Structure 1
């Protein structure tokens, strides 16, 4: 089902985006790429390599349980995505120490799309 990593979102304290550009861009040599207009000055995206399709995303936030840090995986097909979303939801519903703290219920609004389009 999962075919790769699209991006990993890392969190930095408010006001340190310039430090992220210095470290990820200058020190590590990753190339920044444009972010959506409404997100400029709030997030940064860095490409890993020339054509890998993989990125590091930097956003403001604290590393607490409700934080926006996350990996974003590449999925083979819409059917694979729907099956994986159901497995994640079922695990969330079952609970337990390894269960996701939050999950989108299949067929309901996708929280990731809402955050991306509306800024939270």
Structure 2
């Protein structure tokens, strides 16, 4: 039986590791998780997100995901706004979906370094 979600993976081009650490680690504040040696040899980076993980997997024939995306929960609407200001100040475009789509939820979208959509919500 399925008991939970372990991780979500986004794809990135080969050689993505430094940019993944910069974006997901430094800018979004996710903690890097050491990959097992056999998987580390394939490239990519893993990050901890609460009780779960976000894996950035390196792939030869990379195509960014414009619709499919991870949604990362931020602790509060105020923190979401703070993060939006930080990211915007770093030159990362922040877009906001229609607030009526999911009533009572503050949301925004950013693109990772390779054009994958990432949702941030509170």
TM-score (norm 1): 0.46
**Where is the helix percentage greater, Structure 1 or Structure 2?**
1
Higher Rg of the two aligned structures: 1
Which has the higher relative contact order, 1 or 2, with Cα contacts under 8 A spaced 6 or more apart?
1
